[in-house]
Structure 1
């Protein structure tokens, strides 16, 4: 077999006159009678091969029998393409290989979809024949882009003294978040391992062990509902540092992200990244993952309407809710468009959508007749409304108002193409509440996870809340307790989150109690961590970036499936292999499981 001496896409000026052996797939073939042109493709690019009947009759005969996607090896000499035939779109477009010998390494049946053009293909078909989809330029570039990111990530961590350590894949189920994937034990009937949702507890224990700077590019697994930016298995850039505070983790994270953008995209990000408190992002954008690449911020009008006679606003305020609005400036919306936006918010649980249009120097709306002149004057001033603007209102419980208007502003931005392409908005969200009340579960839950440290000055509020017997008083006290947590948001997506961790056992036990985790349950689920905290645990903190999501954002792609070599569908299925699948009765018997 002819042995490759260079990749197709790496042929350059220095190779002119040299004899090379190139291997790859037949991308295109053109027979001009006496001369055959082959575009030969490998992972690095495409090289034009010229086969002349008069100089290489045997090679010409073989070339004439080739079809698309045949795998071949070609031996020949590199020469410059004749003037006027160059292809500046290819990095090898000024050179060609004059073939002397061709060896067919394998043939190919007709493909289920073409490789040489971005023909629309259903996701099911693409994933079933993923090995063909990965030959396409866009997919190949995404995988190579991801590979380069891995090298940069490791380079930055190693430069800063981090140690790469693998944590276990078969571990203990500690269900304090998404569902675990469970693995039955053959040797211990009735017992199960869990696949890790994250290495959180192990990396904290590594800090107790004295490995003060840990990192890992790690696969994590969660049995949760899927969507475009979720997969049952995903990859994290995971790290932890000892003897640090928030600024240290944030500063290092910014250096890593800036290096990735600089090396992979040629973009120089401005440091430090912006920061906003959890409270402020909710007030201005209705979400803790805001996309700030366009305007349309929320405005609170509750004070303006505190004495209103308009029943919808009055009822919301009297029941402890709020009146908020957004102004879609210079929109000139038709009534049909407003109706479509109303239907959208109704899918979110809104009863309707109040609105006011400013057109021809007048206000057009069914609700203005219920508002006083003073209320109208103040709301127009507060929303900075001008000719052509449309104001949308939400009068509801505060959380619902945030949800409705936060989702509506993003829907408007996408629908009316307000988002600027090829721009990146990076924002740290800080000062999260440590915990919140979950109505469904009837208990307090962590906003991040139960190992996040509260701010030192808020510890007395935790102790006071634990002593309180009044639920409403407890809720009010815990609303004021801030977490030492930080999330990085890019273009409206959370790409990373972390915190300073609890390193004192008594504080961890206090948090567990407030979360409704009894001493027995805490010992059963987290006893190994609590024991470790007895033996000189240093102050520590860290962060985990969602690598799939980060790469997808950098590549300008909507779905993380487009940056993962072998992803699952939205139903958690792998069309390539057929997983998940049934197993034999013997396999079930070995792990002591019976199916009902």
Structure 2
């Protein structure tokens, strides 16, 4: 039996300095590059997790040994440290180099051509990056995001413990429940025809912990939702800092996060400036009216103005009978081509058109829909408070459509105008007083707007009035809140409905009776009948938080092994077909199969 080495290195590739000159060392790492200068001279760059070190081959035999290896092979280099003649001040190890006496191949790369250059992997096609993620992660720039993630999670955990929270893990295999997204289902072998579900969030379990007498709970919780991907949301699974507090209300939750998050953003953030506690509180209705979004980017100083009263009757067809919203931008210097580009982006993102005109330096209405505005120039200038040189972006439609489109337009204009956006900062705010109910887009009937377990403002009394037709259910707000940072929703939370009588009344309004509630949420309903404490919680998304801290636009850049936009793991080949024997054991029949991909 071959002897197995127990020590592969005396130092890391980021460790050696001038004080090590003259010492015999052994380094181990990946062969990043080899530059041959002559038959008996070459320079090898050796990289490990901690950094890089230059190794200088000064014999023909050593040059041949290195030349025979493909890049990214792992090797152990034993040699003597010496001072470099030509130092590299950009590298921590740039003052020294190692002259090798022996090079041992530990893991040979058997590919002459790599799918991409490791140190420039971020320039490669994303499909290739995800398929060869283990090579992509060797890129220090990519690796550093994962290191940041680890550090942030450790800091979050330490801070929560310091604030008196207890870390408790909750089940991964649980029951399916209607929580707003599609479940991932897991068939039960022992119970044919029945399925577990992967938790969309530990919502019910953490509330049950409060009913069990635990006071402050948290965990870095994995959550599973069968949702489509987007820039700030990974398909399949994500992680959140899940927390819940007994005998607590909205302000108690706010106080904890306003104490936990600012130091972490200050320490790990790309930007040096962040909101200080207390974060600004903005009601949902104010956010939609003023910013056109329930996750406004407060780094942008632009706001949305209602222009319905002055423009709905101007003769422009899309404005007739609709709500009209305006975004006024001073000092706008965009060209017609740039304006068209912004309007096109708004339409792609919102599905609705944006319109515009300018109030030029001569006091004239020009461009865009100016021919409809010019006849009522004085009224428009007065109503919108225009100054010469202003650009006015416009949206129209039913109230919510006009608001949301204006919100997209505001963001696009803010990003385009450096004088209206201070990008290098973190701006937090709380969005509060969300509607308890909404009309479902597909059903056309009353549905819960956010979390069905939230406490309504007005409690049982307001729900009974809604049931009696005395109050419009759509006017009921809840103790629900979102934490927003730089236009990204970091988390949703709520003061929970811990009273079974209020719970039944709340569900009754969405056509779910007592039997439905007991069958869908048996544990929570029953637990609350034994006397549950008032409780509240929230769950900031860890992935989104790290994305903001790293200054990345895509959430996949801060996840070690992300899926692609189609919820596929190209590296592992998931999802994949299983054998007929496995299906038979689980009593499952496949009625439709995706065609085998050539990839």
- Is TM (by shorter chain) over 0.5? yes
Contact 2:216–2:244, Cα closer than 8 Å, also in 1: yes
Distance 1:505 1:102, change over 3 A: same
Q: Which residue of 2 aligns with 1:584?
A: 579
Contact 1:16–1:80, Cα closer than 8 Å, also in 2: yes
Distance 1:349 1:70, change over 3 A: closer
Match of 1:253 among 254, 257, 282: 257
Q: Which residue of 2 aligns with 1:290?
A: 296
Moved more, 113-122 or 531-540: 113-122
Match of 1:278 among 277, 280, 284: 284
Contact 1:326–1:383, Cα closer than 8 Å, also in 2: no
Q: How far, CA to CA, are the matches of 2:318 and 2:567 in structure 1?
A: 44
Match of 2:529 among 534, 559, 581: 534
Matches within 5 A, 1:65-144: 65-82=68-85, 85-108=86-109, 109=111, 110-118=113-121, 120-144=123-147
Matches within 5 A, 1:459-470: 459-468=460-469
Q: How far, CA to CA, are the matches of 2:441 and 2:108 in structure 1?
A: 62
TM-superposition CA deviations, 1:313-359 (whole Å, max 9, x none): 8742xxxx533211132224555555555545554444663534435
Q: How far, CA to CA, are the matches of 2:394 and 2:45 in structure 1?
A: 59
TM-superposition CA deviations, 1:362-409 (whole Å, max 9, x none): 112575665697x53343234332233221223321101112211122
Matches within 5 A, 1:98-497: 98-108=99-109, 109=111, 110-118=113-121, 120-230=123-233, 231-265=235-269, 267=272, 269=274, 270-304=276-310, 308=313, 310=315, 312=317, 315-316=320-321, 321-347=322-348, 348-350=350-352, 353=355, 355-364=357-366, 376-414=377-415, 419-455=421-457, 457=458, 459-468=460-469, 474=471, 476=472, 478-497=473-492
- Unmatched tracts of structure 1, length 5 or more: none
Q: Which residue of 1 aligns with 2:597?
A: none
Distance 1:344 1:261, change over 3 A: closer
Please, what is the CA RMSD of the aligned residues? Answer: 2.5
Distance 1:439 1:398, change over 3 A: same
Alpha-carbon deviation of 1:295?
2.8
Contact 2:83–2:96, Cα closer than 8 Å, also in 1: yes
Distance 1:11 1:203, change over 3 A: farther
Q: When the two structures are aligned, how many residues end up with a matched partner?
A: 578
Q: How far, CA to CA, are the matches of 1:289 and 1:268 in structure 2?
A: 19
Give the TM-score, by structure 1 length: 0.90
TM-superposition CA deviations, 1:101-121 (whole Å, max 9, x none): 221112211311111335621
Contact 1:422–1:556, Cα closer than 8 Å, also in 2: no
Q: Which residue of 2 aligns with 1:10?
A: 15
Give the TM-score, by structure 2 length: 0.90
TM-superposition CA deviations, 1:552-582 (whole Å, max 9, x none): 1111111111111111111111111111111
Moved more, 194-203 or 236-245: 236-245
